């Protein structure tokens, strides 16, 4: 199954953009599952894909989100099962982020 790795460059003001201060969020988008996943420390966040997710987002004077496609990869069966499991748990529990630290037990 194909997946895309994206970087979202976020700036919060024109001054941040001017000085090159932006936050980078890396996401894994799996088109066949119609979900994106981003990772912060030991947490994975699930985002239901929409057609504007990887389009630039701008205010009047500056671009506050600049998406950059890094590469396309192939996922193996174990990885696909992990992401499908996270989606199922998200639907069952009604939450969209999970602690993946070794003590959480989510990945088991």
The upper half-sphere exposure of residue 44, i.e. CA atoms within 13 Å in the direction of its Cβ, equals: 20
Number of domains in the chain: 1
Residue 104 placed within a domain: no
Q: pLDDT tens-digit profile of 72-95?
A: 999 999 999 999 999 998 888 887
Residue 108 placed within a domain: no
Burial class for 86, CB neighbours closer than 10 Å (0-12, 13-18, 19+) = buried
pLDDT for res 32: 94
Residue 105 placed within a domain: no
**Overall average pLDDT of the 3-8 stretch:** 94
Q: pLDDT tens-digit profile of 21-40?
A: 888 889 999 999 999 999 87
Range of the domain at 15: 2-99
């Amino acid at each position: 199954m194909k997946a895309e790795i994206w970087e979202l460059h976020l700036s919060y003001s024109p001054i941040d953009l001017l000085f090159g201060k932006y936050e980078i969020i890396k996401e894994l988008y799996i088109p066949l599952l119609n979900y994106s996943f981003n990772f912060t420390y030991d947490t994975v966040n699930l985002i239901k894909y929409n057609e504007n997710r990887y389009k630039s987002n701008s205010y009047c004077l500056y671009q506050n989100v600049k998406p950059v496609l890094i590469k396309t990869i192939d996922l193996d069966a174990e990885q696909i099962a992990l992401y499908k499991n996270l989606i199922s748990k998200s639907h069952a529990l009604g939450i969209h982020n999970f602690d993946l630290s070794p003590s959480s037990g989510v990945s088991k």
